[in-house]
Amino acid sequence: MSIIELSLYQQAILLLAGLIALTSFLMLGQSRLVRLVKVFAAQGMLLAATTALAATVLEYPHLYVSAALNLLLKGIVIPLLLQRLIHRLELHRVMDTVDHPARVMMGGAALVVFSYYVSLPVVENSHLVTLNAIAVSLAVVLLGMLLMITRRQAVAHVVGFMSIENGLFFAAVVSTYGMPMVVELGVAFDVLVAAVVFGVFFFQIRASIDSLNVDRLSKLSEVEP
Amino acid sequence: MDLLLVVPVVGMLFLARRGDRAEAGVINVRFNAFALAASLWLAVDVLLHGPALSSGRMFYVDSFNVYLVVLTAFVGWTTSIFSGSYMEHERQIGRVTPRRLRLYYAMYQGFMLAMYLVLTTNNMGVLWVAMEGATLATVLLVSLYRTPESVEAAWKYFILCGVGIAQALFGTVLLYFAAEQKLGVGGGALLWTVLHDNAQALDPAILSLAFVFLLVGYGTKIGLVPLHQWLPDAHSEGPTPMSAILSGLLLNDALYAVVRCKMLVDDSLGTHLAGHLMMGFGLPSFLVAALFLHRQTDIKRLFSYSSIEHMGLMTFAFGIGSPWATFAALFHMTTHSLTKSAIFVTVGHAAQLAGTQRMEKIRGLILTQPAIGWGLLIGTVAIAGFPPFGVFASEFLVLVATMQDYPWLTPLLLLGIGLAFAGLFRHIQPMVYGEVPEGQRAIQANLTPVMVHLALVLWLGLSIPSFLGNWFNQATHLISGVWPQ
Amino acid sequence: MVWALAILQTLLFIAAAPLLASWLKRIKCRLQNRRAPSLFQPYRDLRKLYRKRPIVPYPASWIFRAAPYIVFASTVLAAAIVPLAAVDLPTARIADVIVLVGFFALGRTFQVLAGMDIGTAFGGMGSSREMTVSSLAEPAMLMAVFTLAMSAHTTNLSQAMNYVHDTGLVLRPSFVFALGGLLLVAIAETGRIPVDNPATHLELTMIHEAMILEYSGRWLALIEWASQIKLMLYGVLIANIFFPWGIAQDFSWPALICGVAAIALKLALLAVVLGLSEALFAKMRIFRVQEYLGFAYLLGVLGLLSHIILEAARVHH
C-alpha cells in the first residue's frame, strides 16, 4: 500500500514522523545549548501531537493519556527544567560546537539508511501502515546517540539521552499503538526520576571540575597518565 | 509474594526518614532479614506446589527465578550486615553526612526492591522499568563521596547504562509488536508466560532482531565487553557494600533478563542464533577481562574486572545451551555471587584498614589483622577456581560442557582461567604477605558474612545439597528444555 | 496552435517578471514602513537603461560583450520549458528539469566569465563567490528535484505537475522536505537575503552585484531582466509543482484564463512569504552560506530517505 491510498490522518502521522526525524537532525547541528533545548521541546510536542493523532484515528483512548504524559514531560517539564538549569549554571552563552558538522550530518543520514535496513524485516510482515515510521523511530534513537558522542557539554548529553527516550516512545506508538499502561507509566516515572538525577549531577559535576565539559572527566581511564 | 515487595518499599520509606540514626544499619539488616524470610517462604511454596502465577498475571515465579530471589535476598541480607559497620566507620571519619546516609539506606532498599521486581515480574516491560530503576537507585550512591573520581564514575555509569538499556526497551517494543500481531490487543502480549506459550507462533525475523537489541541492552548491565566501561568505575568509586551488591546481584539479574529473552527466542526461531550471539559476547568478555586484570592498580577495580570475567563465562555457558552448560551456568551464578560479595566485603575492610584502595599501598594484611588477610586470600583462592571451592566445580562443569559441544573452544577457556589466576595472584600475594607499613592498626570489622559465604561456597564445592541440585535441575529443564542426566 | 500558445506563454513569462520583482519590492517597503514606487517602475528602469549606450571597459574581450545576450537567452529558454499557466505544451514536453538546470548553469558560466573578464578585483571576487554558492546549491536542488521525480516517476516538469494535480491532496513528508530544500536553494540562487542582498552595493558582501558592476546601458538592462525572470522561474517552479491546482490541463480559453489567474495569485502569495522572510532575517556572513546550503542539501537527502522509508509501497508476504 502506498501513501496515496491512506487516509489524510495516516498521511499526517507519516508527515509528523518525517518532521520528528528533522528535529533530530536540527539538534545534531545546533551548537547553542538554549536552542538545543528548544528544538528538543519541539520534538516532544511533535511526538505528543503524533500520539494524539493516532489516538483519534484509532479511537484508542489510552493513547490520549500517553500523549498528554509525553507533552507534559518531554514537551514542557524537562525542557523547562533544563532551561532553568542552563541559566542557573550560566551556560546560556556556552557554544558546544561540533568539530566536523558536515561529517556528522552525513553520518546521521547514514544512520537513517541503516535503521531503514534494520527495520525492513519488521515492516515487511505487517499490514500496519504507520509501521513505516518505525525506521524513523530507530533513527531518532541512533541520532540521539550520535548527538551524545559528538558533544562535550553535559546538558547536550542529557538532551541526547532524552531524545533517545523520545525515539523509543515513538517506536511504541507507531508499532503497537503504545505499550500497556503499567509499562508506560513506569517508563514515564523512570524518565522523570532520571531528569531529576541529571539535575543533581550537573551540580556535582560542576562542583568537582568547575565546568560541565564532560571531556574533562578523564580521571578514570585504563591508560595510565 | 506481595510481602517480598512490600518489605523493601516500607524499608525505603522508613529509612529515607530515619537513615541518619545510629541504629539505621541494624534496621536495614532487619528489613533485609524480613525479605529473606519472605523469599524462603516463597521458595518453599514453589518447591512444593510448582510455578506460581499471581492473580492479574503480574508476577510469575518458577524454579529459575525463585532460586535467584533467594540468592538475592541472602546476599542482600549478609551485605547489609557488613554495610552497617562499614557505614558507621565512614560516618566516624566524616566521609558521609547524615543526609547522604539517609539517601544511602533508602536507596539500598530501593535497589533491593528493583531487584525483586526484576526477578518476579511477569511483564517484560515492567522488567525493563525495574532494571532502569535499579540504575537510578544506585547511581547517586556511586557518587556518594562526591570526589571528582566518584562523580565521573557515576556519570559514566548513568549515561552508558541509560543509553545501553534504551536498546533493551527497543527490543521489548519489538517483542510486544511481534506478539501483538499474533495475540491481538489486550492479549497480555508483554507477559512472559503468554509469550512463552505462544513463542512458536511469533515471527522469527522480528524476534531475532528484538533479541539483538535486548542482548545489547541488558548486556550493558551485565558488563559484556565492549559495553563494560562503566562497570569497573562504578564498582570502584562507590561505597564498598554497593560494589558487593552490584557485583553479586545486579549483574546476575541482568543476565537473568537475557536468559528469559533467550528462552522466548529459542522457541520461536528453532535455531541456535541467540545462543551463538551470547557465546560471541561472553567469550571475548571472559578473555579481555582476564587480560585487564593484570594492569590494575586499584583493588576494587581488580575485582570488578574479575566480575566481568565471570559474567562473560556465565553468558558463554548459557549460550552453549546444552543442559550441562545451563546447569553449570546456574551453579556458577550462585558460587560467583556468594564469593564475589564476600570478597568485596573483605576488600572494603582492607581498604579501610590501609586507608586507600591503591594496591601498592596495601601491605601485610595477614600480620595486622589475620581475619581480613585470610579472608582475602581464601576469597581469591575461591574466585580463581581452586578446588575444593564451588567456583572450581562450576567452572569445571562449564569446561566439560564446552568440551562436549565445542571442543575447539576449550583451550581458550583454559587460557582465560590461567590468565585470570595469574592476574589475581600477582596482586593479592604482596597485599596479604608483604611488610606491614608503619602505623597500620587493626580496625573493628565484622567478618561473619564473609565466613558464612565462603563456607557455603566450600560446601557447594564439596557436594551440592539435594534440594539445591533438584532446584538447578528444574531450572535447567525450564531453560534448556531437557533434564540434565 | 499549441506552438503559438507555448510562445505566448513564454512571452507572458518574460513580460510579467519585472512586475513580480516590483510587487516583492512593494511588500518589503510596506513591511519597512516605506513608500513603495509604482508597480511599473522596473519597466521604466529597463526602458531607460535600454536607451543608453553601453560603455565597454578597455580590457574587455568578446566574452564581456556576448555574456548579456547569452545570459538573457538561456534564461528565456529556461522560462520556455517551465509550465506557467498550462501543462502539456510542446516546449515543456521536449525538455525536463535537468535541461532546466543546464540552462541555469550555462547562463551562470558566462556571467561568471564576464565578471572575471575585466580583471577588476570586484568582478573576480563576485565570480568566485557565485561559483562557491552555486556549486553547493546545485546538488541541493538536484536532490530536491530527484525526490519529486521519485514520487512522480518522471523528471519532466509538465508530467510531474500533472501527477501531483491528479493525485489530489496527499501529505507527503518527502514533498515537505523537498519544498523546504527548494525554497532555500531558490533564495540562494536568486541572490536574496540572507545569502545575498540585491539592494546593496556594499563591497564586502556583494555576490551578484559584484559581477555585473562594469555593465551599463542595454547590457545591464538585459542582465537585470534576466535575473528578474530567474526569480520568477523559481517562484513558478515551486508554486506549480507543490501546488499545481488551477493550472490549465487543456487548451480551452476559460481554462487558460483560469490558469493565468491561479499562477498570478500563487506568485503574489509566494512573494508575500519571501518578503516577510527577508524582513525578518538578517544577511548572514558569507562563510555561513555553506552551512545554509548544507542544510538545504540535508533537507533534500531527508526528502529522498523519507520517500523510501515512509511512502514506498510495501510488498506483503
Q: DSSP for B216-270?
A: HHHHHHHT-TTS-THHHHHHHHS-HHHHHHIIIIIHHHHHHHHHHHHHHHHHHH-
d(CA A157, CA B95): 30
Identify all chain C residues contacting A23, using CB atoms and an 8 Å cutoff: none
Among candidate residues C194, C153, C211, the one with its CA nearest the CA of residue C284: C194
Identify all chain A residues contacting B236, using CB atoms and an 8 Å cutoff: 220
Average pLDDT, chain C: 89
Q: Please, which pLDDT band fits residue A129 given cuts at 50, 70 and 90?
A: low
Cβ contacts of C116 within 8 Å, gap of 6 or more: C123, C124, C127
Closest residue to C314, CB basis, from A1, A102, A116: A1
Among chain A, residues having any CB pair with chain C shorter than 8 Å are 1-4, 8, 11-12, 14-15, 17-19, 21-22, 25, 29, 101-102, 105, 109, 112-113, 116, 123-125, 127, 132-133, 135-136
Asked whether A164 and A198 are in contact (CB, 8 A), the reply is no
d(CA B52, CA C253): 82
State the chains in contact with B (3 or more Cβ–Cβ pairs under 8 Å). A
Among candidate residues B152, B114, B311, B157, the one with its CA nearest the CA of residue B223: B311
- pLDDT for C316 equals 46
Identify all chain B residues contacting A168, using CB atoms and an 8 Å cutoff: 166, 169-170, 173
CB contact under 8 A, A18 and C301: no
Q: Please, which pLDDT band fits residue C200 given cuts at 50, 70 and 90?
A: confident
Instruction: Tell me the sheet residues that pair with B59.
Output: B121
The per-residue DSSP string of A43-63 comes to HHHHHHHHHHHHHHHHT-HHH
d(CA B35, CA B60): 17
- Answer positive or negative: Cα dihedral of C7, C9, C11, C13: negative
Grid coordinates representing C9?
506563454
Asked whether C13 and C229 are in contact (CB, 8 A), the reply is yes
Q: Which helix (H) or strand (E) holds B60?
A: strand B60-61
Strands B52-53 and B60-61: antiparallel
- Answer positive or negative: Cα dihedral of C235, C236, C242, C247: positive
Residue A75's SS3 state is helix
Given a cut of 90, whether residue A47 has pLDDT beyond it is yes
Q: What is the pLDDT averaged over residues C21-39?
A: 91
d(CA B110, CA B466): 34
Asked whether B431 and B359 are in contact (CB, 8 A), the reply is yes
Among candidate residues A131, C315, C306, A167, the one with its CA nearest the CA of residue B178: A131
d(CA B335, CA B379): 11
Cβ contacts of B102 within 8 Å, gap of 6 or more: B15, B16, B17, B18, B19, B20
d(CA B286, CA B423): 13
Asked whether B31 and B11 are in contact (CB, 8 A), the reply is yes
Q: Which residue of B has its CA nearest to A144?
A: B163
* Least reliable range by pLDDT among A167-171, A204-208, B33-37, B256-260: A204-208
Closest residue to C310, CB basis, from A109, A127, A132: A132
CB contact under 8 A, A14 and C173: yes
- pLDDT for A225 equals 42
Q: Please, which pLDDT band fits residue A128 given cuts at 50, 70 and 90?
A: low
d(CA C184, CA C199): 19
Instruction: Tell me the sheet residues that pair with B358.
Output: B298
The H-assigned helical ranges of chain A are: 8-29, 33-58, 61-70, 78-88, 101-124, 134-150, 154-176, 181-209
Q: Which residue of A has its CA nearest to C178?
A: A18
Measured from the Cβ of residue C232, the count of other Cβ atoms closer than 10 Å reads 28
Identify all chain A residues contacting C291, using CB atoms and an 8 Å cutoff: 29, 101
Among candidate residues C216, C192, C188, the one with its CA nearest the CA of residue C68: C216
Among candidate residues A7, A19, A30, the one with its CA nearest the CA of residue A147: A30
pLDDT single digits (tens) C2-20? 888 899 999 999 999 999 9
Identify all chain C residues contacting A114, using CB atoms and an 8 Å cutoff: none
Reported residue count of chain B is 485
Q: What is the DSSP letter of B123?
A: B
Closest residue to A127, CB basis, from C173, C291, C316: C316
pLDDT single digits (tens) B271-314? 888 999 999 999 999 999 999 988 888 888 899 999 999 999 99
**Structure ipTM:** 0.92
Asked whether C29 and C35 are in contact (CB, 8 A), the reply is yes
Q: What is the pLDDT averaged over residues A49-59?
A: 87
Closest residue to A220, CB basis, from B133, B153, B159: B153
d(CA B122, CA B59): 5
Q: What is the DSSP letter of B78?
A: H
A and C touching (3 or more beta-carbon pairs closer than 8 Å) = yes
Q: Which residue of B has its CA nearest to A223?
A: B295
Q: What letters, b where the CB count within 10 A reaches 16 and e where it falls short, cover A130-139?
A: bbbbbbbbbb
CB contact under 8 A, C311 and A2: yes
Residue B326 one-letter amino acid: T
User: What's the Rg (C-alpha) of chain C?
Assistant: 20
d(CA B98, CA B100): 5
C283 CB burial (10 A radius; 0-12, 13-18, 19+): middle
Asked whether B155 and A217 are in contact (CB, 8 A), the reply is yes
Cβ contacts of B282 within 8 Å, gap of 6 or more: B224, B312, B313, B314, B315, B316, B317, B318, B319
CB contact under 8 A, A141 and B170: yes
Average pLDDT, chain A: 86
Asked whether B15 and B50 are in contact (CB, 8 A), the reply is no
Q: Which helix (H) or strand (E) holds C67?
A: helix C62-81
Closest residue to A25, CB basis, from C174, C302, C309: C302
Helix axes A181-209, A154-176, angle to 10 degrees: 170
Given a cut of 70, whether residue C134 has pLDDT beyond it is yes
CB contact under 8 A, B146 and A175: no
pLDDT single digits (tens) B69-82? 999 999 999 889 88
Reported residue count of chain A is 225
Q: Which residues of chain B have pLDDT under 70?
A: 1, 185-187, 485
Given a cut of 90, whether residue A205 has pLDDT beyond it is no
- Answer positive or negative: Cα dihedral of C274, C106, C178, C281: negative
Grid coordinates representing A47?
511526538
Given a cut of 80, whether residue C179 has pLDDT beyond it is yes
C and B touching (3 or more beta-carbon pairs closer than 8 Å) = no
d(CA B470, CA C69): 96
- pLDDT for C317 equals 41
pTM for the model stands at 0.90
Identify all chain A residues contacting C316, using CB atoms and an 8 Å cutoff: 124, 127
Share of chain C above pLDDT 70, in %: 98
Among candidate residues A219, A222, A154, the one with its CA nearest the CA of residue B232: A222
